[in-house]
Structure 1
């Protein structure tokens, strides 16, 4: 018998699919990010800092559904002037469309993990979207004593499909911002609603 300490996460070894039930997005420990191209190939990163959502894991797991709502005005690229422009009617138009939403209506296995098929609504326009990702495992959520799940996800969208076709107010702007945007997700989900706990910890109300 080996005496080497076993440091691999228990959940990652023992779970192939997430347990059935309703799981709540943990916004404090999740990242909803995006990447756009500058001058054709340089990657510029951003994120949305406020979201809420649920994942309803079914049995069979293929019937799993999800609903995630994102406060569009919480877009953050690290440059306040650029963020204000992204909130404007030329891009996300957050005054008229304050919430972006993803509704997933089923999952399927892939060679790399899982895919969830659904619909994404941005700036009032809805298009089909498939998220490719991996289930990372299940473990104790230490802050409340509940259980948590971990996921990663990714997708690519053409912002023009959603009418988000604005450009910087600069000469030759079309070469500055690409049409394709990568979505990158690192998601923590909890077996109970922890939003009141997060609001207390963050000291501010939820934006949604």
Structure 2
């Protein structure tokens, strides 16, 4: 089996949530690692997908908000340093790769299915290594993972939406031995 790893320079893990029901707050995780293990990345036959995202690497462009998101009110990054994913099933149909597996956020694990779009492969001009691109967009209910902190607004609604929209742009290459 060959292991393909995400390139942190050419990959992004972004998200957005509604704030006060009227605007969106966007952010990203700066430290993450995605791996695909398979004999054939073109077909994803027998593939296993794993991901780790460092919760303390959250960045919304506001230090106070980031500190709140790392606190016990949300991720509790001190006790839950990683968001993890481990696939149970991977199927490719055309350019779509359906990945089902266990997501763990803040100590709570749920099975989820994500549709990845396979954008193809190319040869990097920087070293000649073959690279593969995948992307996905999905929405998760943060409350399913125990991230229930919120505040009611005088005008109705809540401060932070339940739904979190995520966008992942991932570039993979074969893992090099150290």
Q: Which bracket does the TM-score occupy, shorter chain normalised? A: 0.7 to 0.9
SS in 1 for 2:65: helix
Structure number with larger C-alpha Rg? 1
User: Paired residue for 2:76?
Assistant: 93
* Structure 2 CA distance for partners of 1:111 and 1:24, relative to 1, 3 Å: closer
- CA-atom RMSD in angstroms: 2.4
Task: Please point out which of 66, 77, 90 is paired with 1:107.
Answer: 90
User: Paired residue for 1:70?
Assistant: 53
SS in 1 for 2:175: coil
Say whether the 8 Å CA contact 1:33–1:45 is kept in structure 2.
yes
| Count of residues in correspondence between the two structures | 175
Greater strand percent: which structure? 2
Is 2:5 aligned against 1:24?
yes
* Structure 2 CA distance for partners of 1:193 and 1:53, relative to 1, 3 Å: farther
Q: Which stretches of structure 1, 4 residues or more, deviate above 3 A after TM superposition?
A: 109-112, 170-174
Task: Please point out which of 161, 167, 171 is paired with 1:184.
Answer: 167
Answer with 82-91 or 53-62: which moved more. 53-62
CA distance in 1, matches of 2:51, 2:107: 15
Task: Please point out which of 129, 133, 156 is paired with 2:116.
Answer: 133
Deviation of 1:110 after TM superposition, in Å, equals: 5.7
User: Paired residue for 1:43?
Assistant: 24
TM-score w.r.t. structure 1 length? 0.75
Greater helix percent: which structure? 1
Answer with 36-45 or 142-151: which moved more. 36-45
User: Paired residue for 1:57?
Assistant: 38
Which consecutive residues of structure 2, in runs of 5 or more, have no partner in the other structure?
A: none
